[in-house]
Amino acid sequence: MRFDLLEKELDRFQEEWAQSFLKGNGYMSKAPYPAVNIYQSEEGAELVALVSGYSSEDLDISVYENTVRLKGNISAPQHTEGMTLEKREIVRNEFTRTFELNFRIDSSKIEATYKNGVLRVKLPRMEEDKPKKITITKE
């Protein structure tokens, strides 16, 4: 299965992420949009995004045929009202991430859950796109 990311920033993001994590400095990614993993099975795919700092109301998921789009909006944090920012390492922006899968998504069966800054979106395949087992008859 192959996933084509539509965003041009992917290469840059992957390079930055690889440098920041895979090469061993142990830091979370500092990319300006949430990191995403995608898992696959015959039943479909699951998109898992790290969206800490966004509430579920800040997030919007839309699906069209084989494409899933995740959008995040920023609402002003209430816990910092009246305070001055002294040190900043966290980057949080409005973002849009779009992923194209190699099967059509059954939009009537999508499930999305959010817990502790982790968004999980289950994207089932359309029934007719699921792998079919072919019975071989003996001659």
53 binds another protein (CB under 8 A): yes
Among 6, 9, 30, 111, binds another protein (CB under 8 A): 30
Q: Which of 25, 50, 24 is nearest to 37 (CA)?
A: 50
- Please report, as residue ranges, which positions from 105 to 134 form the binding site for another protein (by CB under 8 A): 115-118, 120
Q: Name the phi and psi angles at 109, rounded to 5.
A: -120, 15
1 binds another protein (CB under 8 A): yes
| Amino acid symbol at 76 | A
Binding segment for another protein among 41-49, 65-73, 104-112, 129-137 (CB under 8 A)? 41-49
Nearer to another protein, 22 or 136 (CB): 22
Binding segment for another protein among 28-36, 65-73, 104-112, 130-138 (CB under 8 A)? 28-36
Total residues in contact with another protein, by rule CB under 8 A: 44
Nearer to another protein, 62 or 91 (CB): 91
51 and 72 Cβ atoms separated by less than 8 Å = yes
85 binds another protein (CB under 8 A): yes
Residue 77 to residues 36, 55, 61, 83, 92, Cα–Cα distance (Å):
23, 10, 22, 11, 11
What is the longest distance spanned by two Cα atoms in the chain?
Answer: 81
130 and 42 Cβ atoms separated by less than 8 Å = yes
Q: Are strands 44-50 and 59-64 parallel, antiparallel or unpaired?
A: unpaired
What residues make contact with another protein under the rule CB under 8 A?
A: 1, 3, 13-14, 17, 21, 25-30, 35-41, 45-46, 48, 50-55, 79-80, 82-90, 115-118, 120
